[in-house]
Structure 1
């Protein structure tokens, strides 16, 4: 298909040639000026119709290309959305695992601290017992001196 510029140049050349032929026919008396004016009006209308047709075809082609691009972007968006859903699901699983792990750690730390507290309490009780035993052992030694 001709490009719009070539088509316009060809149409302009044909229009000039046609107007020249009509002018010659009027001058030669072969057709009346009214018939020449009618033929000219018909040719102008035909040229306008051809221009509108070519313009509409170009616009339709552009609209088709835009539609294809939109469909391509929609497909990419659908893929991205699916990937994001997968990532979101994985993140939810990871968050739950981290929360469970944090809960276990808190329980473990609580148990360790409780155990350390019990050991301290037991150690303090033993220290008191040892002090009492020392006092008992030292008491006879003080009495003998």
Structure 2
């Protein structure tokens, strides 16, 4: 169309070149605008994805804190239980030791009584 206007001498060749350059710059601007809009859309989707992951990370962190608190409670309970078991075991062993000592003392007493009974029976005979 510009060629017809130049051939018809309605516009000069320089004006036609200026119009073509202006149209090319408008096309470049339109392409740049579409590229920027596309990149902006991608950036927006990435931002939404990041926010979603941050929310999941926050929930995971809160869950991990709850689990950590529960583990602390369980660890304390296990330690207390182990302490009680150690005390109970110590008491049982002490009791067994006392029983053994008492049994040994009673065995000696019984043996002494047997000796006395034997001595008495020998004296009568």
- Flag whether TM exceeds 0.5 (same fold): yes
Partner in structure 2 of residue 139 of structure 1: 119
CA deviation vs aligned residue, 1:72-111 (integer Å, no higher than 9, x gap): 1101110111111111111111111111111011101100
1:142 shift after superposition? 4.0
1:29 shift after superposition? 2.1
Q: From 31, 35, 56, give the equivalent of 1:76.
A: 56
RMSD over equivalenced CA pairs, Å = 1.3
Partner in structure 2 of residue 25 of structure 1: 5
CA deviation vs aligned residue, 1:24-48 (integer Å, no higher than 9, x gap): 2222222211111000100111111
Q: Which deviates more from structure 2 when the two are superposed, residues 24-33 or residues 100-109? A: 24-33
| Stretches of structure 2 lacking an aligned partner (at least 5 in a row) | none
Partner in structure 2 of residue 57 of structure 1: 37
Partner in structure 2 of residue 107 of structure 1: 87
Larger relative contact order, structure 1 or 2 (CA cutoff 8 Å, min sep 6): 1
Which secondary structure does the structure 2 equivalent of 1:29 belong to? coil
- The normalised TM-score by structure 2 is 0.94
In 2, the alpha carbon distance for the partners of 1:90 and 1:39 equals 76
Partner in structure 1 of residue 22 of structure 2: 42
1:144 shift after superposition? 5.6
Q: From 117, 123, 129, give the equivalent of 2:103.
A: 123
Note if 1:96 corresponds to 2:76.
Answer: yes
Partner in structure 2 of residue 87 of structure 1: 67
